[in-house]
Amino acid sequence: MIAKKQKLSSGLTVTSKVFVRSRNGGATKIVREHYLRNDIPCYSKLCHKCHTILKPDSKGELPRFILSESPTRLEKEGSIHYVVVDTNIILHCIDLLENVDCFYDVIIPQTVLEEVKNRSFPIYQRIRSLVKSDEKRFVVFHNEFSESTFIARAKNESSNDYNDRSIRQVAKWYAEHLQESNEDIKVLFITNDKDNLQKAKTEGIVDAYNLTDYIEELPNADVLRDLIPQTSNNESFSSSDANETSYPEYYSNSRVLGGLKNGTLYQGILNISSYNFLEGTVQVGAFKKPLLILGTKNLNRGFNGDAVIVELLPKDKWREPSTTIIEEEVIGADDNADDDGDEEIEFINDKERRLLAQEAIKETTAATSSTDGAHSRLQPTAKVVGVSRRSWRYYVGQIAPTSVSKDHDTGNSAKSCFVILMDKVLPKIRIRTRKAKELLGQRIVVAVDSWPSTSKYPQGHFVRCLGEIESAEAETEALLLEHDVEYRPFSKNVLDCLPKEGDSWVVPQDFETTTKRKDLRDKLVCSIDPPGCVDIDDALHAGILPNGNYEVGVHIADVTHFVKPNTALDSEGASRGTSVYLVDKRIDMLPMLLGTNLCSLKPYVERFAFSVIWELDEDANIVNVQYMKSVIKSREAFSYEKAQNRIDDPKQQDELTQSMRVLLKLSKKLKQKRLDAGALNLASPEVKVHMDSETSDPGEVEIKKLLETNSLVEEFMLFANISVARKIYDSYPQTAMLRRHAPPPATNFEVLNNMLAVRKPSMPTISLESSKSLADSLDRCNDPKDPYFNTLLRIMSTRCMMAAEYFPSGSYGYPEFRHYGLAVDIYTHFTSPIRRYCDVVAHRQLAGAIGYEMLDLSHRDKSKMELIVKNINKRHRNAQFAGRASIEYYVGQVMRNNESEQEGYVIKCFNNGIVVLVPKFGVEGLIKLELLGDVNSAEYDEDKFELKFKDFNNKERVIGVFDKVKVDVKSIKDEVTGKRKAQLILK
Amino acid sequence: MELYSPEGLRIDGRRWNELRKFECRINTHPNSSDGSSFIEQGNTKVICMVQGPMEPVLRSQSNPNQANIEISITIANFSTTERKKRLKNEKRLVELKATLERTFEQSVMCKLYPRTVIQVNIHVLAQDGGLLAGITNAITLGLIDAGIAMYDYVSSISAGLYDTTPLLDLNTLEENDMSTLTIGVIGKSEKLALLLLEDKMPLDRLESVLAIGIAGGHRIRDLMDEEVRRHGNLRLSKVNV
């Protein structure tokens, strides 16, 4: 179909794109206009011609030229070069494109971009951000809209062939176009498609390469060779074992869609048990209990976190969740990375089968002895028949020492070896590398390329090396990567959004005339923070009004004055979502300059703030509340301890101290009100690691201590958050940024209540009717002999809770806004905009609500808010995990030096081990049966949560949940995963 | 689909402030009507036929002070990609009709033609966004061809807002995805005879959208004017002979 072209008076040429779409069996012809233009520049700084044809965008900006005038040289030929890439290169080798050692000055034809977008949206987004950051000098060339590169589709040409031809046309045009300006430049066309490569050569594009050949041309080929993904040259893999199918094939797309529609298949997120890598669960809306997926064959190549399609198994295969601990390292340790076919015909190896058999025996005995009990715990099982979305990302791990041959004869050829990931619920990954021996004992980053049904393990490739295992840097970077925390320094376009004055920025003196800010410099404001805090988000003041009421003000750093919507700075903050606090490091959400200086409410200097000022009566009821942007001058920055001392010191009678006493008095009333309403006081085994200030070695571990002033600040922050939440919900009922905490489902507490009833019959059960009754029942659960028991119970209850989440107000009804833990009907985060993005949004919405400035479109659009919220929820969770992992690592380091005997509590029992929590270090560890005593004598009583066994002295012992035990704590390095962890040994 | 790429190109290859192909003809049906026109705005195609000013069929329809403008719109079943039968009294159409009648009652010097009716028949042959704009332009040309006195051209164009960028003259794909503003500009002035916005648009962005809309309207007016003059010259040359 060759459409006619027509030249318009405006200089455009119009043609039409015609295609046929079939839907519901009928065919529709669709005609769309397609305009061709001659003002698309080549974006090369080398070019002399394209500067004359530019057209500005709606903001009057001209496009910038990105491709460098002195790009990298090829090693052999010595000429400078640009690169045009094909779709398959982007899809399979995106990591390589992002690598800082290669691929500079890359031209991506629009055709390629469209294809990438249709195939994988995440990769498309990564490419787009590469283009945007212009550090690697990527450009998108809209070849289909350019008169010089547009080609009409030939008769009977498949769309694939047509696209390939279009891409080749781009390479050809670029080569000719640049040749006129500079003789020395080469434009290389890189594709892994043999056919395309062949055609390019016959068409006269001399500089066409496949990826491997191109890498060889580069001066730093040695470093890069290993990074070439497996799929790009996987002929060797597929040919050797093409005849052997080990995993069941996934269902076809249409079958999956049909199945989902008629309700025979279900979709959900696969969640692999952290105690047993052969067992996964999928929570599906249709069932109350999660579906159980047992064994590698049923898991069928699913990764933890993948969105999978599952099919139910017949009822006779329904099972109880296992009570056995199975770790992969034990079972798969002997697999050889090189051989792939022979052994796996059977697929379940002997050890695995033995474990399954044990399970089966237990199953049958349980069924005969107590049929009803077994049935209540029976869970439907299912198998994975498709994966709709992979959760693949970068993984951190180390090469399994056993999979690398120790011989010295190995040359420079690539070897297969296994990488064991830090995350235990994931399988090992097979990679090919030439540097296996150098990489032994190093933390490395790998990416997964594919998991063909013929291969027992997924295939991936090496990305980069982080450093030696157990070195603090490598471990910190590893855990940041593992939790998907963006930790790279801020890019140039982000830093460009900061005020030009830098550190010398001061509050402009004419703010009263130029802005609507209130002057609050005369208020006695002070801040109270942990010692050594540099990013001071909040400050407070209080005073007594003539009518006897109190005036209390909370002042929050005015971050949104510097972070304007739709800037690079804003989008960076939005994507980071939160600052991440590790033991020895802080990963900022916003650049240092803002966080620790311009926004930070430092004492003795004037700062912009967003203030909430209440008039409170004697009982801390709100009489009046005002919100305003302001200028404040903090009088003093206290640490919690210093503030406490000053309040307690009767000799201090100055105004500032007086006002702090007012604050403290009111905060106690607020707290009491909150507790009366049923706010929960839960616990987590949080500890703090003290660092030696000189060597920055971890010194000792301490359980966090709370002072009255801690809760002073906390109360007023909660109070401000609640007030702001009401205000922004009032103004933006559909899109207000709020935070909710759903009540825990009763099933979560079932096991805990069961344990309580069996193990501590004297204790009342935990009531769930409301947060108030939960708080009360937790208060009643006191063991006079053991004060820690109550805390233990709180820790365990915390684990049964739902996680709080951010949401735009339009996505729930008002009754569901409730924050269960705080027992308030509406809540948001407003008080820490330096370190949380939610607060930034809340600030903007509040500024809009009080008419200070117009609210940006993106915070008024429900769908955009949904996106923001989804991201910050994820980031928030990851940041918490990363923080905990960091503490865990340092606690491990501390314990290395001080092995000791500690008290611990049993919190879980399995038929081959127990889990013990040691409050002193906040660690919990698994003690396997082999370390407890005689394996064969062990008997597990499921109903009583007890494990009976003979210890090494042949004495009979019974250990159950909640028992207090003495354990030896020491730190050992797990040789397989390279992770240091607490080893507990029962005394 | 990328409606507006970071490189500044729209889905069909235009830049933000570019019109689609605009073609128009007047006096296309000289025998069956007093005035007629045909316009193409991109792939939107509209025929307009004007009868009158004439005596109304019913006495009740006549207004002693001014002319009545009656507009009827027929949208062909094949005008969209999916074939669809449309009823004559579909709500949207009735509303569209009312909007148009109100617009033209102000732009036509109705006082000059008391006790008459001006019958305007619209046939939409193909739709690809900017339906109201296309119809308005077609009616303007049809009325001019019929020799009915008007204050000035009413040239109409649609504009939308993608994120923060205003886009001119939207096609269907764009129209489905963003809020659309249709305006009718009077002659070369900045006065509007028509403004229609069926969904939300932030107030602080409205000005920029209006600005490109007005600029686009002026360009449409020039293109229509060119056609009217071409046709006028043709007529004139015949008279002289």
Residues of B in contact with A34 (CB under 8 A): 12-13
Contact B15 A144 (CB under 8 A): no
Q: Which residue has the higher pLDDT, A512 or A608?
A: A608
Does residue B92 belong to the interface with chain A, where contact is any CB pair within 8 Å?
A: no
Contact criterion met (CB below 8 Å) for A294 and A360: no
Strand order in the sheet with A265-272: A291-294, A279-282, A265-272, A307-312, A382-389
Contact A35 B208 (CB under 8 A): no
The answer, yes or no, to whether residue A969 has pLDDT greater than 50, is yes
pLDDT at A567: 87
At A699, give phi and psi (nearest 5°): -95, -75
A31, A117, A142 member nearest B43 (Cβ): A31
Contact B204 A34 (CB under 8 A): no
Q: Considering only CA atoms, which of A40, A150, A128 is closest in space to residue B10?
A: A40
How many angstroms separate the CA atoms of A305 and B215, rounded? 52
Shortest Cα–Cα distance, B143 to chain A (Å): 26
Instruction: Band the pLDDT of A374: cuts 50, 70, 90.
Output: very low
Q: Fold identical between A66-228 and A239-469?
A: no
Q: Considering only CA atoms, which of A835, A229, A267 is closest in space to residue A530?
A: A835
Does residue B12 belong to the interface with chain A, where contact is any CB pair within 8 Å?
A: yes
Q: Are strands A81-85 and A186-190 parallel, antiparallel or unpaired?
A: parallel
Shortest Cα–Cα distance, B21 to chain A (Å): 7
Q: How many CB pairs under 8 A join A and B?
A: 73
- Compare all CA atoms of chain B with the CA of A17 and give the residue at the minimum distance: B12
Contact B81 A857 (CB under 8 A): no
Contact A58 B5 (CB under 8 A): no
B2, B16, B173 member nearest A57 (Cβ): B16
Residues of A in contact with B208 (CB under 8 A): 58
User: What topology does CATH give the domain B22-240?
Assistant: Ribosomal Protein S5; domain 2 (3.30.230)
User: What topology does CATH give the domain A899-986?
Assistant: OB fold (Dihydrolipoamide Acetyltransferase, E2P) (2.40.50)
Most confident of A217-226, A286-295, B102-111: B102-111
Contact B202 A854 (CB under 8 A): yes
Contact A58 B6 (CB under 8 A): no
Residues of B in contact with A36 (CB under 8 A): 13
Contact B14 A128 (CB under 8 A): no
First to last CA, chain A: 83
Contact A10 B18 (CB under 8 A): yes
Contact B202 A857 (CB under 8 A): yes
Does residue B44 belong to the interface with chain A, where contact is any CB pair within 8 Å?
A: no
Task: Tell me the pLDDT tens digit for each residue of A27-70.
Answer: 888 888 899 998 899 898 888 888 888 888 888 888 888 888 88
Instruction: Band the pLDDT of A951: cuts 50, 70, 90.
Output: confident
Contact A34 B163 (CB under 8 A): no
Q: Report DSSP letters for A751-795, one per residue.
A: HHHHHHHHH-TTSPPPP-SSHHHHHHHHHH---TT-THHHHHHHH
Contact A58 B165 (CB under 8 A): yes
Assembly ipTM: 0.93
pLDDT at A614: 93
Contact B12 A31 (CB under 8 A): no
The answer, yes or no, to whether residue A347 has pLDDT greater than 60, is no
Contact A32 B166 (CB under 8 A): no
Shortest Cα–Cα distance, B180 to chain A (Å): 16
Residues of A with a Cβ under 8 Å from any B Cβ are 6, 8, 10, 12, 14, 28-37, 40, 55, 57-58, 63, 117, 128, 131-132, 140, 142, 144-145, 566, 854, 857, 860
Q: How far is CA A725 from CA A172, A180, A211, A730, A732, in A?
A: 59, 62, 54, 8, 10
Residues of A in contact with B19 (CB under 8 A): 10
How many angstroms separate the CA atoms of A735 and A110, rounded? 35
Strand order in the sheet with A913-918: A923-928, A913-918, A900-910, A964-973, A980-986
Contact A34 B203 (CB under 8 A): no
Q: Which residue has the higher pLDDT, B163 or A978?
A: B163
pLDDT at A915: 83
Does residue B162 belong to the interface with chain A, where contact is any CB pair within 8 Å?
A: no
Contact B13 A6 (CB under 8 A): no
The answer, yes or no, to whether residue A537 has pLDDT greater than 50, is yes
Q: Which residue has the higher pLDDT, A11 or A711?
A: A711
pLDDT at B207: 92
Please give the single-letter amino acid code of residue A429.
I
Q: Considering only CA atoms, which of A464, A571, A536, A547 is closest in space to residue A837?
A: A571
DSSP A456: S
Does residue B9 belong to the interface with chain A, where contact is any CB pair within 8 Å?
A: yes
Q: Per-domain residue ranges for chain B? A: 22-240
Contact A55 B20 (CB under 8 A): no
pLDDT at A690: 61
The answer, yes or no, to whether residue A1 has pLDDT greater than 70, is no
Shortest Cα–Cα distance, B42 to chain A (Å): 7
Residues of B in contact with A810 (CB under 8 A): none
pLDDT at A610: 93
Contact B171 A32 (CB under 8 A): yes
Does residue B128 belong to the interface with chain A, where contact is any CB pair within 8 Å?
A: yes
Does residue B13 belong to the interface with chain A, where contact is any CB pair within 8 Å?
A: yes
Does residue B218 belong to the interface with chain A, where contact is any CB pair within 8 Å?
A: no
Instruction: Band the pLDDT of A373: cuts 50, 70, 90.
Output: very low
Task: Tell me the pLDDT tens digit for each residue of A402-419.
Answer: 777 655 545 566 678 888
Does residue B4 belong to the interface with chain A, where contact is any CB pair within 8 Å?
A: no
Contact criterion met (CB below 8 Å) for A944 and A758: yes
Contact B43 A33 (CB under 8 A): yes
- Compare all CA atoms of chain A with the CA of B211 and give the residue at the minimum distance: A58
3-state secondary structure B104-142: HHHHECHHHCCCCEEEEEEEEEECCCCHHHHHHHHHHHH
Residues of B in contact with A857 (CB under 8 A): 163-164, 202, 205
Q: Per-domain residue ranges for chain A? A: 66-228, 239-469, 492-666+685-737+820-884, 743-801, 899-986
How many angstroms separate the CA atoms of A427 and A328, rounded? 8
User: What topology does CATH give the domain A239-469?
Assistant: OB fold (Dihydrolipoamide Acetyltransferase, E2P) (2.40.50)
How many angstroms separate the CA atoms of A552 and A542, rounded? 4
Q: To the nearest whole number, what is the mean pLDDT of chain A?
A: 81
Q: Considering only CA atoms, which of A562, A543, A561 is closest in space to residue A552?
A: A543
Contact A58 B205 (CB under 8 A): no
Task: Tell me which H or E stretch contains B166.
Answer: strand B165-168
Q: Where on the phi/psi map is residue A370: left (φ > 0), alpha (ψ -120 to 50), or beta?
A: beta
pLDDT at B138: 97
Contact criterion met (CB below 8 Å) for A742 and A820: yes
pLDDT at A344: 38
pLDDT by position in tens, chain B (length 241): 678 998 899 999 999 999 999 999 999 999 999 999 999 999 999 999 999 899 998 888 888 999 999 999 999 988 988 887 777 678 889 999 999 999 999 999 999 999 999 999 999 999 999 999 999 999 999 999 999 999 999 999 999 998 889 999 999 999 988 889 999 999 999 999 999 998 888 888 899 999 999 999 999 999 999 999 999 999 999 887 6
Contact B208 A117 (CB under 8 A): no
Shortest Cα–Cα distance, B165 to chain A (Å): 6
Q: Are strands A518-519 and A622-639 parallel, antiparallel or unpaired?
A: parallel
Contact A35 B81 (CB under 8 A): no
A117, A142, A144 member nearest B7 (Cβ): A142
How many angstroms separate the CA atoms of B168 and B192, rounded? 17
CATH for A66-228, options being 3.40.50.1010, 3.10.100.10, 3.40.605.10, 1.10.3450.40: 3.40.50.1010
The percentage of residues in chain A with a pLDDT greater than 70, rounded to a whole number, is: 87
Residues of A in contact with B42 (CB under 8 A): 33
- Compare all CA atoms of chain B with the CA of A566 and give the residue at the minimum distance: B164
